[in-house]
Amino acid sequence: MAATVTSRVAGRFGPYGGRYVPETLVAALDELEHAYAEAQTDPDFHLKLDSLLRDYAGRPTPLYFAPRLTESLGGAKIYLKREDLLHTGAHKINNCLGQALLAVRMGKKRIIAETGAGQHGVATATVCALFGLDCVVYMGEEDMRRQELNVYRMRMLGAEVRGVSSGSRTLKDAINEAMRDWVTNVRTTHYLLGSVLGAHPYPTMVRDFHRVIGREARVQILEKENRLPTAIIACVGGGSNAIGAFYEFIPDKDVRLIGVEAGGRGSALGEHAARFSGGSPGVLQGTYSYVLQDDNGQIALTHSVSAGLDYASIGPEHAALHDSGRAEYTSATDTEALDATLRLARTEGIIPALESAHAVAECLRLAPSLTPRDILLVNISGRGDKDMGILARELHLSGA
């Protein structure tokens, strides 16, 4: 008689999520899950994390009313949540500080990470310097080329950046390589995954470390406007800044939650990273979610001008929010994102990361159709310094 095995439900968002990994990693995922659960009930952990977020990272971040952008669009009032003002220049530091504290609790002295745009890699290298941990960051060679500045920042901070030359040489391939490292060095190494992706407990844990975005924004908008926003808009690669911005508002049914994927340069498979319009449910890199794939289940190549959105799958909680209709997902093209970057720079003096510019692009489309009674809250997840090379080329800034 064959024994029956009960399917576990931990780490599921509707049918999505779960844990699809080589057996070697399960013990480490269990260890992490337990360490995280313990930390959550430990006041000392929260005290340490809150103090680091405040004194080191620069929280709370402002919620800024954007008057000239609002006026120029002639519709909804636009507020920007300024995650770009955080130390290292993006929301990624929220999660890195949390996971670094966990790594120290677990006695792991070596940290590995993947990075796409380099913002998570920089944040990881930063916390490793802060806590005296060894740091190896995997990065696709294509991303190393287009986000060169962040490669230097990581090296400056003492991290080893390992280029990945397989596949499309972008984020997905960097995650494969990081998982191969982890499966080999799992006893001494913590994998500091940078988005709400991968096997349980990562999607839940990383979300929790970013919930502070929405928690602050909710208090701030109530202080300023005494009402909740009409919609919250955030870009979605893996989806960590979006879930962080959305999460506290999920029970507020009147608040629209809008995720913006990378529309790239066309709707054919391989030309974009719009998982909900072009993908279907599947398993990639440890989790069950929407995946861009071909008819044979091979993962498709993706394209986006922004390295941080250039990924074939999406966090499983977003898949559940999509299916339930609680959140809406749309996309912005490379061109729209570039235009939005320029528009925000020229109206408000803020250069957003190309990733965040996808959220701004949706705001530009939506705001004119709304009334001045409406409020749009746009999460500016990172700043655009890292993209100056691409922007100089695409927007002809060389002045010649």
* Active site positions, annotated: 92, 114, 381
Element (H, E) at 135: strand 134-140
CB of 18 or CB of 244, closer to another protein? 18
Q: How far is the CB of 205 from another protein (least distance, A)?
A: 18
- Closest CB to another protein among 226 and 298? 298
Q: Which residues pair with 82 in a beta bridge?
A: 380
Q: Rounded to a whole number, what is the largest CA-CA distance in the chain?
A: 78
Measured from the CB atom, the residue of 51 and 166 that comes closer to another protein is: 166
As a whole number of angstroms, the distance between CA 163 and CA 161 comes to: 6
| Helix/strand/coil percentages in the chain, nearest 5 | 50, 20, 30
Nearest-angstrom CA–CA distance, 291 and 300:
8
Of 51 and 184, CB closest to another protein: 184
CB of 119 to another protein, least distance (A): 23
How many CA atoms are closer than 13 Å to the CA of 219, on its beta-carbon side? 8
Q: How far is the CB of 178 from another protein (least distance, A)?
A: 9
* Interface residues toward another protein, by CB under 8 A: 2-8, 18-28, 166-167, 172, 175-176, 179-180, 183-187, 280-286, 291, 293, 295-299
CB of 293 to another protein, least distance (A): 6
Nearer of residues 17 and 352 to another protein, judged by Cβ: 17
Instruction: Return the bridge partners of 139, or none.
Output: 115, 163
The residues that bridge with 281 in the sheet, in sequence order, are: 290
The least CB distance from residue 111 to another protein, in Å, is 18
Pairing of strands 110-115, 134-140: parallel
CA distance 200 to 30: 9
What residue spans of the chain are helical by DSSP H? 26-40, 43-52, 67-73, 92-106, 119-131, 141-146, 148-156, 171-185, 202-225, 240-246, 275-278, 316-324, 334-348, 354-366, 388-394
Q: In whole angstroms, how close is the CB of 121 to another protein at the nearest point?
A: 19
Q: Are 354 and 332 in contact (CB under 8 A)?
A: no
C-alpha 191/C-alpha 185 separation (Å) is: 10
